[in-house]
Structure 1
Amino acid sequence: MNGLKDFLHLLQHSFRNLLPIVVVVAFFQAIVLQTVPDGLGSMVAGLLVVVVGVALFLQGLELGIFPIGKNLSNAFAKRGSLPLLMAFGFALGFSAVIAEPALIAVASQAETISAGRVDGFTLRLLVATSVGAVVALGVVRTILGHSLHWYMIIGYLLVVTVTFFAPEEIVGLAYDSGGVTTNIVTVPLIASLGIGLAVSIRGRNALAHGFGLVALAVMVPMISVQLYGIFVYSLGAGPALAAAQPAAGIAQAAAAAIPEPAGMLGALTGMLVDLLTMFRDVAPIIVVILFFQYGVIRKPIAHLHKVVGGFVMVIVGLYAFVIGLKLGLFPVGRAMAEQLVALDTYTWVYLFALSIGFATTMAEPALIAIGQKAEEAGKGRLNANHIRILVAIGVAIGITIGVHRIITGDSIHYYIMGGYALVIALTWLAPKYIVPLAFDLGGVTTSEVTVPLVTALGIGLATNIEGRNVLIDGFGLIAFASIFPIVTVMLYALYAERFKPTGEKT
């Protein structure tokens, strides 16, 4: 009975979270464009499916993913074996990324556009290995109690330096590869590993030492893929072909995950196949968990039925979520980009970018989950709703700046290097307790809601603005959506530290 009450509460919570998207779309359709979108009934039905999907997902996290991550972390910490913990961290990071559908789409698009110069499978192995290695490194950081800010300052100095030398053809691919490593399932799982480890080690703080694994998982693939691109384009032969299309591949993959109507039987068959595909995508994670649980720890999983039910709810909820997005918002987003560009002024394009950036971020299930965990870890310092609003403001600002870049046709290099230079400076100045969380929050913005909608907006603008090349100008919004939430969260922490009365908790 309590489970049903919790689920109904989550349904209500999910509906409130999606309201900003509905309000933004309705405002621009009714007031600015003054048109009724085609398939209004389908859109309404899609939004209802999204609400149910988000509720199932959040319930599944609490029942399955968070408990299993914490329990494994506690068990390994009690054993006191650093190699074992590092092996678990590597295996979890690698398995969470190697079968990621968005990464597969990015790698495939990169191989096609580069005429084989970039090998898709090599790229996937490189990104997955990078994430596995960096999760293992993050485990060591938590155990040793190191502050994250040095890791991030040195890391992003490397990112900016490598970006300066990287060929234009690889920059977008590298930043997109970093973004797609943090999806709606892997973020909570990796975060629960870090939090569980920090809680189980004496002298460690869940807020300062438990967060940060997601941030590292985003950063390192940016470096490794750009280094790979420098190697490929320096030593390879043939014309330099733009590798910006992978950003489009993410949106296409998200859309392609849902079958187009082909009769009731065909649609049902397609939905069943795609649902089984999602189970396949998380299979490597399940295999790793079962191996370490039964092969290494050699103890049964506590409350196995709840954990299994939680994983099933996460997968089904995610699938319902993506179906609802495609039915409800994808077609409208693409059409609105075309219609807004056709107006006499770009003012409405900027306003739409600002509004949709805020609205989609407020609806991100991964952000909601991490915000709740941050509030618990903060013990009075942090408020989950305030965190979400700060992150949403950052994404809105970032996407607006990214849209401005597309409209003007400027190179992404200088925007990215300038953005991360600001992040590095703030990392040096900000209170140390907020740094791991701020970087993790930058990672969770590139998830299932924001990536497809924002990518569709960028490609729609580049396609419809004269003189723009969709392969060069139609990507990059994902990177901007990751940078500026870090900035807003750190700026708020600086304000809270310096201007609140002495003795008041921040």
Structure 2
Amino acid sequence: MDFYQTKFTEKLKEAFNAVLPIIGIVLFLSFTIAPVPSSILLLFLFGAVLLIIGMMFFTLGAELSMTPMGEKMGTKMASAGNLGFVLFLCFLLGFVITISEPDLQVLAEQVPSIPNHILILAVACGVGFFLVIAMLRMLFAKALPPLLFLFYIVIFLLAFLIPEDFLAVAFDSGGVTTGPMTVPFIMALGVGFAAVRSDRHAEDDSFGLVALCSIGPILAVMILGLLYHPEDTGYTPTALPEISNSVELWKCFAEGFPEYMREIANSLLPIVLFFAAFQMISLKLKKKKLLKIIIGIAYTYIGLVLFLTGVNVGFMPAGNHLGQTIAGLPYRFLLIPLGMVIGFFIVKAEPAVYVLMEQVEEITSGAIPGRAMSLSLSLGVAVSVGLAMTRVLTGISILWFIVPGYAVALMLSFFVPKIFTAIAFDSGGVASGPMTAAFLLPFAMGACQSVGGNIVQDAFGIIAMVAMTPLIAIQILGFIYQYRMKHAKVSETESASYLDIWEEDDIIEL
């Protein structure tokens, strides 16, 4: 019991520190340049409380369940003799998890004239296929950069062939489908697969699964964009709620809870069933370990229900209203620096970011500290939101940002240590989570609506931008790390050479 109490206290502190800056920024703006109706402000504050509690439960639950489940299943699958059966399981796992991802349902509603079930099945097939490619890469120790280079070349070629209304949504889909629940599991699965290898690059190759799985949805939506040519691509924004008393305030959340309880149950069920099958057939974990995982699953479920309810019911209206109000000011250029400040802090509230940082510290034995990762991600997301707000104000095509951005990221991948490239491309999917979809996207949509822009072309794409800039930021961190390591080795060599010229007695005297 003391263990859980200590962990709860630690996770609550982390969640509070992550969400507090966002609360402070919204309150500051609402009492100064962007007045917010009291009903929306109360929704936001109530949502923030749910957000903090939900993050506490989720991060502890992922640590107790998602990580050990993924690692143990990955190790067993990689150790199996039948490669074809293992790859089939990987495809099936990626397919089923993606179909169950709540954010994919939202994406399907955003893409005009494509039947929802066709889009969902296509995206799920894309994730399953690329999870197979990711596992093959790890098993056969193939380098990640050439694969990324090849697939993104295909993506950029397709980008010039599809209707412009599909561009932003296609790139957004890569971040949307790697949700807060599937990311920790897929990353842990990679660690398990890498564990069967004994070479020195095994740990480096344990990252990169999310990077490759994010490519599948982009290609799937682009291919559908070649097949479907919608006439009506307009997007109707959701009306902001109007609340007159505390009973109506609670009603908003009371209506949201059953919906997200059902969605998270559907998302969690495939992973639980897969694990149960492995447990009965081959894992045979002891009761104590199994009980710990079951408790972790329960915490994960509770945490995600609270988190998503708080974000979608409480944060979405606040983000939309702030975007509309700030963009409607005479000095609307403030949208860019304010967006950058919000982006800097909001990534810290993404639940899967903590899982990534802990896993990076563990795999690298502290050589890549979590604080450096956090700062790099925050700076990257700040730049991406600034660029996204520039698009909202100017209407510049997303290709003018995405193509050069990914070109720089792919070029860097050939010069930095392998592990930094894999972590960087994983972090793009991790950073573009539910906080981005439920606060930053409505913020951009509200601003775009206020300036009279095209919401589908100019506001959508912010998730893609948030997923792109960490690729560059983390690899720059890799450059700094590599430089320091080389500098430290040179200093050691010089010190050794200096000592070599002294006699043993002289050294003793020194």
Structure 1 388/263 Cα, relative in aligned 2: closer, same or farther at 3 Å?
Answer: closer
Which residue of structure 2 lines up, in the alignment, with residue 127 of structure 1?
Answer: 123
Cα distance in 2 between the residues matched to 1:219 and 1:35: 38
Residues 384 and 469 in structure 2, CA contact (< 8 A), matched pair in contact too: yes
1:46-61 equivalences in 2 (<5 Å): 46-61=47-62
Cα distance in 2 between the residues matched to 1:88 and 1:503: 45
Q: 1:185 aligns with which of 178, 181, 188?
A: 181
Q: Deviations over 1:99-123 (max 9, x none)?
A: 212212222332xx32xxx222111
Cα distance in 2 between the residues matched to 1:156 and 1:472: 21
Per-residue deviation, 1:315: 1.3
- Confirm whether residue 288 of structure 1 aligns to residue 274 of structure 2: yes
Q: Deviations over 1:23-80 (max 9, x none)?
A: 3223323444477855655543432221111010011111111111111122223334
Structure 1 498/304 Cα, relative in aligned 2: closer, same or farther at 3 Å?
Answer: closer
Structure 1 310/448 Cα, relative in aligned 2: closer, same or farther at 3 Å?
Answer: same
1:9-408 equivalences in 2 (<5 Å): 9-33=10-34, 38=39, 40-110=41-111, 113-114=112-113, 118-203=114-199, 205=201, 207-233=203-229, 240-242=231-233, 245=235, 268=254, 271-272=257-258, 274-295=260-281, 297=282, 299=284, 303-326=289-312, 328-408=314-394
Cα distance in 2 between the residues matched to 1:504 and 1:200: 35
- Paired residue type of 1:3: Y
Residues 168 and 242 in structure 1, CA contact (< 8 A), matched pair in contact too: no
Per-residue deviation, 1:360: 0.9
Per-residue deviation, 1:206: 5.2
- Partner of 2:489, secondary structure, is coil
Cα distance in 1 between the residues matched to 2:476 and 2:249: 53
Cα distance in 2 between the residues matched to 1:403 and 1:358: 14
Identity %: 27
Residues 242 and 472 in structure 1, CA contact (< 8 A), matched pair in contact too: no
When the two structures are superposed, what TM-score results if normalisation uses the length of structure 2? 0.88
Per-residue deviation, 1:176: 2.2
Per-residue deviation, 1:10: 0.9
- Partner of 2:419, secondary structure, is coil
Which residue of structure 2 lines up, in the alignment, with residue 494 of structure 1?
Answer: 479
Per-residue deviation, 1:428: 2.3
- Partner of 1:283, secondary structure, is helix
Residues 10 and 58 in structure 1, CA contact (< 8 A), matched pair in contact too: yes
Per-residue deviation, 1:395: 0.9
Cα distance in 2 between the residues matched to 1:264 and 1:340: 28
The gaps in structure 2 that reach 5 residues or longer are 492-510
Structure 1 270/352 Cα, relative in aligned 2: closer, same or farther at 3 Å?
Answer: closer
Q: Deviations over 1:453-493 (max 9, x none)?
A: 11101111110003x12233221111110110111111221
Cα distance in 2 between the residues matched to 1:371 and 1:77: 25
- Paired residue type of 1:463: Q
Cα distance in 2 between the residues matched to 1:171 and 1:273: 30
Residues 100 and 267 in structure 2, CA contact (< 8 A), matched pair in contact too: yes
Per-residue deviation, 1:186: 0.3
Which residue of structure 1 lines up, in the alignment, with residue 498 of structure 2?
Answer: none
Cα distance in 1 between the residues matched to 2:482 and 2:377: 19
- Partner of 2:195, secondary structure, is helix
Which residue of structure 2 lines up, in the alignment, with residue 434 of structure 1?
Answer: 420
Structure 1 120/325 Cα, relative in aligned 2: closer, same or farther at 3 Å?
Answer: closer
- Paired residue type of 2:71: K
Residues 95 and 288 in structure 1, CA contact (< 8 A), matched pair in contact too: no
Cα distance in 2 between the residues matched to 1:264 and 1:22: 20
Mark the structure with the bigger radius of gyration.
2
- Paired residue type of 2:96: S
- Partner of 1:165, secondary structure, is coil
Per-residue deviation, 1:140: 1.2
Structure 1 339/136 Cα, relative in aligned 2: closer, same or farther at 3 Å?
Answer: same
Q: Deviations over 1:172-192 (max 9, x none)?
A: 221122121110100000000
- Confirm whether residue 470 of structure 1 aligns to residue 471 of structure 2: no
Cα distance in 2 between the residues matched to 1:265 and 1:473: 33
Structure 1 432/264 Cα, relative in aligned 2: closer, same or farther at 3 Å?
Answer: closer
Per-residue deviation, 1:499: 5.6
Cα distance in 1 between the residues matched to 2:202 and 2:305: 31
Cα distance in 2 between the residues matched to 1:406 and 1:40: 24
Which residue of structure 2 lines up, in the alignment, with residue 236 of structure 1?
Answer: none
- Partner of 2:233, secondary structure, is coil
Cα distance in 2 between the residues matched to 1:470 and 1:227: 22
- Paired residue type of 1:419: G
When the two structures are superposed, what TM-score results if normalisation uses the length of structure 1? 0.88
Q: 1:450 aligns with which of 432, 436, 458?
A: 436
How many residues align structurally?
483
Structure 1 42/504 Cα, relative in aligned 2: closer, same or farther at 3 Å?
Answer: farther
Cα distance in 2 between the residues matched to 1:396 and 1:3: 35
Structure 1 203/2 Cα, relative in aligned 2: closer, same or farther at 3 Å?
Answer: same
Structure 1 123/42 Cα, relative in aligned 2: closer, same or farther at 3 Å?
Answer: closer
Residues 46 and 325 in structure 1, CA contact (< 8 A), matched pair in contact too: yes
Residues 163 and 226 in structure 1, CA contact (< 8 A), matched pair in contact too: yes
Cα distance in 1 between the residues matched to 2:151 and 2:167: 16
Q: Deviations over 1:311-369 (max 9, x none)?
A: 12111101111233346533322221122112221232111110111111011110111
Residues 157 and 424 in structure 1, CA contact (< 8 A), matched pair in contact too: no
Cα distance in 1 between the residues matched to 2:455 and 2:406: 24
Structure 1 191/411 Cα, relative in aligned 2: closer, same or farther at 3 Å?
Answer: same
Which residue of structure 1 lines up, in the alignment, with residue 506 of structure 2?
Answer: none
Range 487-496 or range 326-335, more displaced: 326-335
Cα distance in 2 between the residues matched to 1:223 and 1:348: 35
Range 319-328 or range 55-64, more displaced: 319-328
